[in-house]
A and B are shown apart, each in its own frame.
Chain A
Amino acid sequence: MVRYTPLGNGRLIAAFDSNHWIVDFYYSKAARDNHAIGHPFMFGISVDGQFRWLDASVLREMDYVGDTMVSRALYAPDGLGVEIMTKDFVDLLEDVYARLITVRDLSGSRRKFSVFMHQNFYIYGNDIGDTGIYDPALNAIIHYKGARYFLASAIGEDNVGIDQYAVGIKERVGLAGTWKDAEDGRLSMNPVANGSVDSVVGYSSDLAPHGSKSLFYYIACGPDMRSVTSLGGSLSWGRLSSMLRRTSNYWDYWSSRRSPRLGGDYPYLFKRSLFILATHVNAAGGIAASLDSDQLKINRDGYYYVWPRDAAISAYALSMAGHSSTATRFFDLMESSISDEGYLHHKYYVDGKLASTWLPMVMDGHTIANIQEDETALVVWSLGEYVRRRNDVALLAPYYERLVIRAADFMAGFVGDDGLPKESYDLWEERYGIHAHTVAAVHAALEAAAWMAGLFGEDDRAARYRATASRMRDSFSAKFYSKDVGRFARAIIRGKPDFTLDSALLAVPLLGLIDPIDPRVESTVGQLRSRLWIRGVGGLARYEGDRYMRVKDDQSIPGNPWTITTLWLARYYLRAGDMPRAMEALDWVASHSQGSGVLSEQVNPYDGSPLSASPLAWAHAELIIALVEMDERLSGAPQGVSTVASGAGP
């Protein structure tokens, strides 16, 4: 399910469903733990005794406010004679989520209203041993467990606080939850509950005819009771107004660093992609693949991890957009995560701890490398691009020995007799073999490492990396291309080429392994477009016969169209100088973004609706990269093909 308008500050992240209700609420010093895991924090109103939940059926607008990481929603419930506008934000500096709620009378008569805000915490991702308690001194509800404390309350523009509350048991012994208590417009004032707990706070006031009233609802977060009560107790109308202003101003300025000179919705999508990507970056340098927890319901595992591949592309996108300092923290994390052998593992928690995996260490009785080598490669390549774009060798120095050299030595040694990388898992995490995408990534990484070694005067090392990369390229040409088939193989598995059409082959030109206008590349891409472009709904499928998240068995559909693969196609055509086709692919992505600019991993091939993780950080990163490359190309300064990858230096 799509998470709209995510908001965050690196420690606290709030994400919303189609009702604009919080459904994911991450908080820790590295935003590691999700304390909602898909369970909604409902929002309702009672006007002159008539109650209703404010959900998608009455939600007229939901978007970010201008170019800021402040979200805006407008609810227009039929028959109540009021409209409700909200502005949500996560404060830039303090761990506070807040919602400015403005209720406006449309009926022309005096009204009485109460708004109800529901807290549905699953602290640390479960509902065992939670406490919810009303604190009369602070006129607030506090939910807590372990080292996670959340203080929820509201305050009006007249500095009057909540007048109702209720804490209770949810989803146990026949109890739906405390939210049910709000539906009669009055809360029970039950002050405490433990176990599986939810709570509701209510704020009441009246409206003059055609008048409006505003209040802030807020959740302050802290690691202990003292810090959360101190923070929560300091939140006045004035302080929250000031937080809204500083957060709004900061993101407006932050997003103005670069804007592509494309028209239509692209400037808007570019900035929203930057915000959305920024919410996935935490204070420890982790860049999560997606904060959408929906997958947990199906697989009991999700996307809220750092895949070095996704994160490296995201860091590259951020540096292209001028936000290098954000990217720096990621390289810090990778430097501390890389193994002694010089490779990166499958994935990590957002604070750098090793995460779950499905890659085995044994296959057919033999020990294998349970890695995807392109992940290690793309981190090195991304760092090279980062340094090249900033033209600042000082940025490289802290990472050179412990990250670049260690990884490049591993990659230069993890090579078979034929000069190709040894077998590892592919980027789709499905097959073990030698993959075209991995070859392209390792080649680009070795070229980047050679260039970086050259910057430090290590010419012998640079020559060794470059020679390995050169041999890899030659071997790839010899072993992966078939004149008979007229395209490159996507992989060599158990010694045999696999000619399944796979969008991952686009890495061959995009990572500079072979020129985009080489006839072999043109022929390969021509076949990819012809066979993987989805008739009707459009977009490029991952590969022929892709079963992942299939909507139904249908031979006419090669697989669901993916956002990143379609953006690769756009970037390819941009480099090949075919602007109409580049724009066709880019326009497809733009037209399948959600109202707040959110991009999903996949799209339903029948109705165009979003599928799988939404937002997907990698998709937003690829859009940023595509738009910057487009802007550079249109400016007459093409920089899309890295000079690092071609070995030419800065």
Chain B
Amino acid sequence: MRAISITVGKPGVALRDVPEPQRRKGEVLLRTLYTGICGTDRGLVNNQLPFARPPPGSGDLIIGHEALARVEDVDPGMKIRKGSLVIPMVRRPGKCLNCLVGRQDNCSDGDFVEAGIRGLDGFMRDRFTDDPTYLVRVDDESLGMLAVLTEPLKNIVKSYDVYDMVSRRSITSCRDGSRSCLTVTIAGAGPIGMLFAMMFSSVGMDVRMFSRHDPEGKLAEMASRIGAEYFIREDRSKPVPQSDVFVETTGSPDVVIDGLRALRPNGTMILFGTAPMGSEGLTGQDVIDVVERNITIVGTVDGAKEHYIRALSYLSSWKDSFPGVLKSMITSVVKPEDSIDALTARPGGEIKTVIGWE
């Protein structure tokens, strides 16, 4: 069967022929329908992620962590049945307390594995087996390929939970109890930025988002359909608008600092994007402002099973409340044989490329 893999420690990616998986008792055999390509996959392909590691005993790693799959075979009497659509979870627990209670997204010691990223083969292959504990059923089968967005969206759902939790330290709601008077600015207009925009827009917040380029105006149009305001910010000369929440999805330190300086009192900075480059210093005045204005800075990664479930629920809701937006986020569907270029470098105009396996 086909699988897309890298040799960890070397740049490059290839479509290879690998043996069929053997399902053991208690496991589920899955047929991959779609896998999404994200920046992490390209980081792996280009050997830019120091935390990448193959499964024990192997030098190669099958990549892919955003997937939609169908159950092909399962033991009788199991909760998941043959024919069901599922999303496999990425992160698998280690031994810390958070991992022990199923919150490996908050792992305390880094002793976890992630499918297609570190220590465990991923989902860019025709078939794979998995523990049903780590499968999330897709109830709304009408989502079809859009369900592949569940994995990235679950990160946003968790981020929003984290924001919701930390924002309760002071009164941040409006006089009518809603959040409609609050402004959120999102740095980055890729799939993550767009999903953040939908999340905050769906709770009634005033959403602004920016990126460095929008040559064809697609991002502005998509933002507009979400109810967000998009603007181009080519460099630091353009100010970041004052906000109650600033979401950073690019990983750029200078954007982080600019966003921090634009936060209003009791504001929250959500750090989500990561990039191994760049540096930018904090000033003493920045520290004073963070303290004096009760600024909260949070980093958030991954999500728990309940975030996957809620992400699926949001996708079902958003496909109606933001008509066409989710579909237009998937800018290209390629076959595995044609995916190498898209895995190596981001195609021009891409928001999300998906590999179709059937």
Most buried by B among A61, A262, A263, A267: A263
| Nearest chain A CB to B154 CB, angstrom units | 12
Alpha-carbon separation in the docked complex, A630 to B103 (Å):
13
| Chain A CB within 8 A of B15 CB | no
Contact B101 A61 (CB under 8 A): no
Given contacts A267-B306, A595-B79, contact A579 B133 (CB under 8 A): no
Contact with A along B279-312 (1 / 0, CB 8 A): 0000000000000000000000000111001000
* A576 touches B (CB below 8 Å): no
Tell me if A463 is interfacial: C-beta within 8 Å of chain B: no
Complex interface: chain A residues within 8 A of B133 (CB): 264-265
Verify A609–B306 contact, CB threshold 8 A.
no
| Any A CB within 8 A of the CB of B102 | yes
Mark out the residues of chain B between 41 and 84 whose CB falls within 8 Å of any chain A CB in the assembled complex: 77, 79, 81-84
Whether B151 is near chain A, meaning CB under 8 Å from some CB there, is no
Mask of B79-96 contacts with A, CB within 8 angstroms, 1/0: 101111000000000000
Which of A59, A65, A634 touches B101 (beta carbons < 8 Å)? A634
The contact of A65 among B84, B98, B139, by CB within 8 Å, is B139
A264 and B137 in contact, given A579-B100, A583-B101 (Cβ under 8 angstroms): no
CB distance from B311 to the nearest CB of A (A): 13
Most chain A Cβ neighbours within 10 Å, of B81, B82, B105, B309: B81
Q: Is A245 interfacial (CB 8 A cutoff)? A: no
Contact A263 B103 (CB under 8 A): yes
CB distance from B106 to the nearest CB of A (A): 8
Q: Which of A59, A76, A268, A580 contacts B309 (CB 8 A)?
A: A268
Q: Answer yes or no: B97 CB below 8 A from chain A CBs.
A: yes
Chain B residues within 8 Å of A609, by CB = 77
B115 to chain A, nearest CB (A): 16
> Using Cβ atoms and an 8 Å threshold, which residues of chain B touch A580?
100
Q: Find chain B residues with CB under 8 A from A60 CB.
A: 81-84
Q: How far is the CB of B200 from chain A (nearest CB, A)?
A: 20
CB-CB < 8 A to B331: which residues of A? none
Known A-B contacts A72-B139, A594-B79; the reply to A61 vs B97 at CB < 8 A is: no
Nearest-neighbor residue (CB-CB) of A265 within chain B: B305
Residues of B near A263 (CB, < 8 A) are 98, 101-105, 304-306
Q: Does A526 belong to the interface (CB within 8 Å)?
A: no
Give A580 to B95 CA distance when docked, in angstroms: 9
CB-CB nearest in chain A for B306 = A267
The bracket for how many chain A residues form the interface is: 20 to 34
Q: Does B313 contact A (CB under 8 A)?
A: yes
- Roughly how many angstroms separate A59 CA and B82 CA in the complex, as a whole number? 10
Q: Can you name the residue of chain B whose Cβ is closest to the Cβ of A630?
A: B101
Asked whether A583 lies within 8 Å of B83 as measured between CB atoms, the reply is no
In this complex, the member of B79, B97, B105 whose beta carbon has the largest number of chain A beta carbons within 10 angstroms is B79
Q: Whole-angstrom distance from the CB of A54 to the nearest CB of chain B?
A: 15
Which B residues are in CB contact (< 8 Å) with A262?
101-103
Contacts of A630 in B (CB 8 A): 101
CB <8 Å contact, A583 and B79: no
Which residues of chain A in 43-79 are interfacial with respect to chain B, using CB atoms and an 8 Å cutoff?
Answer: 59-61, 63, 65-66, 72, 76
Query: Within 8 Å of chain B (Cβ to Cβ): is A465?
Result: no
Q: List A contacts of B103 (CB < 8 A).
A: 261-263
Most buried by B among A63, A262, A264, A634: A264
Interface residues as binary, A585-607 with B (CB distance below 8 Å gives 1, 0 otherwise): 00000000011000000000000
A266 part of interface (Cβ distance < 8 Å): yes
A264 to B309, CA, bound (A): 11
Q: How far is the CA of A263 from the CA of B306 in the complex (A)?
A: 7
Instruction: Write out the residue numbers on chain A whose beta carbons fall within 8 Å of the beta carbon of B83.
Output: 60, 76
A268 CA to B305 CA, complexed, in Å: 9
Tell me, rounded to whole Å, the shortest Cβ–Cβ distance linking B132 to chain A.
Answer: 9
A237, chain B: closest CB distance, angstroms:
20
Contacts of A72 in B (CB 8 A): 139
**Contact residues, A256-301 vs B (CB, 8 A):** 259, 261-268
Q: How far is the CA of A63 from the CA of B80 in the complex (A)?
A: 11
Q: List, sorted by A's number, 17 A–B pairs whose CB atoms are closer than 8 Å.
A: A60-B84, A63-B137, A63-B139, A72-B139, A262-B102, A263-B105, A263-B305, A264-B304, A265-B102, A265-B305, A267-B305, A268-B309, A580-B100, A583-B100, A594-B79, A595-B79, A609-B77
| Residues in B lying within 8 Å of A, measured CB to CB | 77, 79, 81-84, 97-98, 100-105, 133, 137, 139, 304-306, 309, 313
Closest 3 pairs (CB-CB, A-B) = A264-B102, A263-B102, A263-B304
